[in-house]
Amino acid sequence: MTSNQFFLKRWPEKNRFWLEGEEHHHLSRVARIKAGEKIWLTDGRKRRLLAEVVKVEEEKTWLQTLAIEEEKLKASLQLGFGLTKPQTADFIIQKVTELGVSEIQPLITKRALNISAERLEARLGRWQKIAQAALKQSKGAVLPVIRCPETLEQFLSSELQGLRLYLDEDSQVYLKKILLTEQPDRVILIVGPEGGLAQEEKLKLREKNFQGVSLGQRILKTETAIISALAMISHFWNW
């Protein structure tokens, strides 16, 4: 079976359709896929399409639909993380996309990295490309919505639904206990930047019914904590 997946800007209306632009270039010039081979495609909205390559032209690739499937995740995962160094944030976006997160909310917290509005706008565009590439590589079908960064207070004032958790190394409740006793259909996980969340921020989270959970005795880097927590959540509640 094919190991290649490509991204669809629009879901095809007919069984015979074409791929153009960057994805056509990747298919024909990078992956060097030929007529008769099979590929997967997704629009990031939980749908995947298996197609056979009919013809590779200079400007487009003609495809024929073979099958359509839906990626069924039991729990919708939303991640809020404190803004951190560019390289670390890029890594987080890539890995949480692979783990099936459906929504990403960068947060401006007390210890978050201070970034100008111009740089934030540029990073949002970069994060979208990173997420799309990670979705293709992992053969997932859920492209996360990446929100514009906002303060923790702004985030908490919005309508929040689902099981609410935040990582807290001081908590006496371990995440594994929650994983074994709950079975939510929506999860919101908040993780602080380097240095963690301030005590007043933890208090605000608790006031909004967020529960602090620990991953254990070791102090993990932000990206390690996020990946560890989401891998556990995905294993117990999605896979």
Across the chain, mean pLDDT equals: 96
Residue 71 gets which letter from DSSP?
-
Spatial contact of 128 and 89, defined as CB atoms under 8 Å apart: no
> What would the pLDDT profile of 172-207 be if each residue is shown by its tens digit?
999 999 999 999 999 999 999 999 999 999 999 999
Cα(214)–Cα(191) distance, integer angstroms = 11
* Residues 186 and 206 occupy one common structural domain: yes
Q: Are 58 and 80 part of one and the same domain?
A: no
Q: CA 92, 10, 66 angle in degrees (round to 5)?
A: 100
**Predicted pLDDT at 158:** 94
What pLDDT is attached to residue 2?
Answer: 58
Q: What are phi and psi of 167, to 5 degrees?
A: -80, 130
Say if residue 85 is in the same domain as residue 46: no
CATH code of the domain in which 11 resides: 2.40.240.20
Q: Do 172 and 128 share a structural domain?
A: yes
| Pair 18, 117 in one domain | no
- Select from 223, 66, 40 the least CA-distant residue to 137: 40
CATH code of the domain containing 144: 3.40.1280.10
Same domain? For 59 and 81 the reply is no
Please tell me whether residues 107 and 213 are part of one structural domain. Answer: yes
Q: What are residue 61's DSSP bridge partners?
A: 19, 56
Same domain, 19 and 116: no
Q: Which of 70, 88, 112 is the last residue of a domain?
A: 70
Q: How many domains does the chain have?
A: 2
Please check whether residues 233 and 137 belong to one and the same domain.
yes
Residue 45 is classified by DSSP as B
User: Whole domain around residue 121: which residue ranges?
Assistant: 76-237
- In the block, residue with structure tokens 């160094």: 85
Residue finishing a domain among 70, 91, 126: 70
Q: How confident is the model over 138-185, as pLDDT tens digits?
A: 999 999 999 999 999 999 999 999 999 999 999 999 999 999 999 999
Is the same domain home to 118 and 228?
yes
89 and 56 together in one domain: no
User: In the beta sheet, which residues pair with residue 19?
Assistant: 61
Q: What's residue 239's pLDDT?
A: 82
